[in-house]
Amino acid sequence: MKRVSLYSHSRRTGPYGRLGKAAAAPEMAGEPPAPPSRMVLAWRRFQGRHARLLSIVASSLLTVAIVAAYSAVTAPRTLTQYDIDQAVLHTLEEQEAEPSRAAVAYDIIRPSVVRVNQVGLEDSEDTEKAVGTGVVIEESGTILTNIHVVAGADRISVTFANGHKSDAHVVSVQPEDDLAVLKTDSIPDDLKPATLRSTRGLNLGDEVIAVGHPFGIGPSVSSGIVSGMRRDYISPKGKRTLTNLIQFDAAANPGNSGGPLVTADGEVVGIVTAILNPTDQRVFIGIGFAVPIENAAAAAGVSPF
């Protein structure tokens, strides 16, 4: 009986059998690998030194590729006038308009401005003979105004910014500056005096506002600039001459007299006292005058500078 062979008769694939060199002698398996080339070593050194830079470059290239791909698949949209109008409207709605400088100044001085009524007695009844303006300069209720606002009054009535009313009386006058100082019988609890500012730093072209009750309407505010300094004024009938005045072009009319001339910071630099009009009409034509606050403060016995 013939014995079956225990070995395969398949052809070998190499000099070392089907496993190739893996079946070589044990001493051949322990040979060290070939050293890397100079180019590989140089690249490894460069990569180690500039790893951060290479990372940034790679990220940038990736971003550019993404943007390019997005642009390639996204059709550009043409803006219409409607789109532009909506964008402008949205911006205007999101941004609140800032108040003007005149509005800011008026908001500061408003609590200190009062209406001065010259009251007369006719047939045993009070009648309003004239209207002017005043400004509170002390917490005790000291008020500056013009002499011609209160001259000849049988009674003086003052209305404060919050609506509080009180009778008032003249405590002192300074005729050379047409200034009168008033004290009221009562004052509101929240009375706020104005801040006074020296005219030493006042220049031609500086912004100013005039606050008062022109023709009894008010409080009203007008804005302009300082148009002159150290001006003289002679009344139409030559009854009074005023000197060293501030000239300004903010609108002022009868009723503004005694009111404050205020800087853009809301600080009082003068007391409005006259307007220049070569005609018989007592209306503003572009030139007004104010007594410097240094003179006005001296009339009230106040020396803030």
112 has catalytic annotation = no
Active-site residue, from 148, 177, 220, 249: 148
Residue 6: CB atoms within 10 Å: 5
Give the separation between CA 155 and CA 158, rounded to whole angstroms: 10
Cα dihedral: 182, 302, 275, 135 (round 10): -50
Long-range contacts of 219-223 (CB under 8 A, 24+ apart): 219/110, 219/113, 219/115, 219/161, 221/102, 221/106, 222/250, 222/251, 222/252, 223/101, 223/102, 223/250
Active-site residue, from 220, 222, 227, 257: 257
Residue with tokens 């964008």: 87
CB 73 within 8 A of CB 177: no
Give the separation between CA 69 and CA 77, rounded to whole angstroms: 17
Contacts of 217 (CB under 8 A, 6+ apart): 255
DSSP states of 215-246? GG--SEEEEEEEEEEEEEEE-TTSS-EEEEEE
CB 213 within 8 A of CB 133: yes
H or E, element range at 26: helix 26-29
257 has catalytic annotation = yes
Active-site residue, from 112, 177, 178, 213: 178
- The DSSP code for 148 is H
Residues carrying an active site annotation: 148, 178, 257
